[in-house]
Amino acid sequence: MTPVGTLVVAEYGDSPIAQYQGNPLIEALPPIRSEADAAASMALFPDEPGDETQLSKEVRLHCIDRLLQLVQPLPIHLELESALSSLIRSGYVGRNPLAQATWRHAYSLAVGQAAENGFRSTASTLSVVGLSGIGKSTALESILRLYPQAIRHRKYRGQELIQLQIPWLKIECPFDGSLTGLCHAFFRALDRAIGEERYARRYRSIRGIVQLVHQIEQIASTHFVGMLIIDELQHLRVAKTGGKDNMLNFFVNLINSIGIPVVFVGTNSMIELFADVMRNARRATGLGLSDFRQPKSDDPAWALLVDAAWQYQWVRHVEPLTAELRSVLYDLTQGVTDFLIKLLVLAQRHAIHTGEERLTVKLLRTIADTRMQLLKPALDALRSGNVKRMAKFEDLLPPDSQIAAMMEAMDGDAHVSSRLTMLQDMRRPRVENAEILVPALAEASGIASGSATETGSAVRSDARCLVEHEAPLAALRDAGWILVDALEFSTVYAVC
């Protein structure tokens, strides 16, 4: 994994895909990852508490913040990683620096004759939407860390190639939705990528939007920006008259005229921005829509996340994760990742401060009613299931400053199933002869699993017994774990 803002020297690898071969911009990127490799690279599992639970109260209160670093890959992360991997490479297909047409296009951009050079863009778009706090930005940042942000080319297969490549840039849409603010954010992001203050200061005094946009087109083309991620795009809703259309047209121009793929990221209200103009709607869904939906209480992916987060407890007594606790955790957070982490952090701080030293249903509800009361209007809207109330979810959330103050106050399908199994394996302890408990995914799927005794020791699960059976295939069949009818879970089959 490459630290953000790191400049690396290009190392080229052969690509098995015909249209990618002979393109140094693509061959300098990391190889296309398998799902297992991508998951392992994106995951961030901080050191678990272990013996730290025996440390003093004051020390453990600091340790709790480690939970905020947790990144548990989920199936949506793998789908997004695959989409971005394809997006960035396909955008470079039409911009090979070894092709004369690429430099003719760059020159035509500089002299303002881009429409006459016959350039054919291979760039596309992707839209990432979901509730605030559901994990969109965390997922994107985990994926972007798989790519260097700046690559220095010197020589490609014996041919001199002096070029600075910027595989990706991520910027936030200004709070007022202004195109001028977006342009200046672009220059600042570019400076961070190359590790020097070169562009932001140079163009700080320029106020004419036409000139700013022209400079962005030239720079993005010269540095071969591979992908532009625009976060918080819902801010366009408050743009001045004509501002929304100007910015959307700017994005379309980047895709068509410059050949740069664009990723739109925002809350569900972002979709409304593309509803008015069909051209924008088509561009916004070039590679489809990655929808970070609110999970259901029995969603195996949600169970996987809860399992991972529950491991990070610094209280003296860690309670088994019962069905009742799972139900309460979902009820109090409605499946929103950020709310789950905040609840567990605040609850642990309270339990340690008061000497209760365990997370109980009563304590979790108390924390939700007191320390997280700012979030109650939004949670009530999600809990209602009412479409109109849920549509106001974003408007019901308190400002970030208030949420930060809330956190500080305490100091005073079959394919999905296979993915989930692979992702769960990452969490299993690698201690020899250790008993491995069946994850909550089995419970969420209705499969019997092992539990913990009152003393917290592991109980041999049904799954463990089946695996160790002398005839495991027969045992699995007798237990009803093997699919008998290939169409058993088909919606068409169910209707029939």
CATH number at residue 122: 3.40.50.300
Whether residues 115 and 215 share a domain: the answer is yes
Q: What is the mean pLDDT of the chain?
A: 82
Which residue is it, tokens 């089995």?
Answer: 442
Whether residues 26 and 116 share a domain: the answer is yes
Whether residues 353 and 286 share a domain: the answer is no
pLDDT at 349 over 50: yes
Q: Is 55 a domain residue?
A: no
Q: What dihedral do alpha carbons 457, 461, 467, 468 form, nearest 10°?
A: 60
Residue 215 to residue 211: CA distance in whole angstroms: 6
Per the model's pLDDT, the better-predicted residue between 366 and 131 turns out to be 366
Domain count, the chain: 3
Strand partners, 155: 160
Given 411, 446, 463, which residue is the final one in a domain?
A: 411
Contact at 8 Å (CB) between 299 and 416?
Answer: no
Average confidence (pLDDT) over 130-153 = 93
Radius of gyration of the CA atoms of the chain, in A: 25
Residue 116 to residue 96: CA distance in whole angstroms: 19
Q: Is 56 a domain residue?
A: no
Count of CB atoms within 10 A of residue 446's CB? Answer: 7
Lowest mean pLDDT among 28-42, 142-156, 360-374, 408-422: 408-422
Q: Is 117 a domain residue?
A: yes
Given 391, 411, 431, which residue is the final one in a domain?
A: 411
| Greatest mean pLDDT range, 25-29, 159-163, 262-266, 269-273 | 25-29
Whether residues 430 and 354 share a domain: the answer is no
Type of residue numbered 194:
I
Q: Is 108 a domain residue?
A: yes
Whether residues 371 and 422 share a domain: the answer is no
Whether residues 202 and 104 share a domain: the answer is yes
Whether residues 335 and 421 share a domain: the answer is no
Q: Is 44 a domain residue?
A: no
Q: Is 397 a domain residue?
A: yes
Give the CA distances from residue 71 to residues 41, 42, 244, 294, in Å, rounded to whole numbers and listed in that order. Answer: 11, 7, 34, 18
Which residue is it, tokens 């957070």?
Answer: 333
Q: Report the pLDDT value the prediction gives residue 241, as an integer from 0 to 100.
A: 65
Whether residues 136 and 174 share a domain: the answer is yes
Average confidence (pLDDT) over 402-420 = 63
Given 266, 292, 318, which residue is the final one in a domain?
A: 292
Q: Report the pLDDT value the prediction gives residue 381, as an integer from 0 to 100.
A: 86
pLDDT in tens, 452-470: 444 444 445 566 676 666 6
Whether residues 282 and 307 share a domain: the answer is no
Whether residues 245 and 209 share a domain: the answer is yes
Q: Is 64 a domain residue?
A: no
Structure tokens at 355: 């000497």
Lowest mean pLDDT among 1-5, 224-228, 388-392, 486-490: 486-490
pLDDT at 88 over 70: yes
Range of the domain at 375: 300-411
Whether residues 421 and 402 share a domain: the answer is no
Whether residues 275 and 308 share a domain: the answer is no
Q: Is 40 a domain residue?
A: no
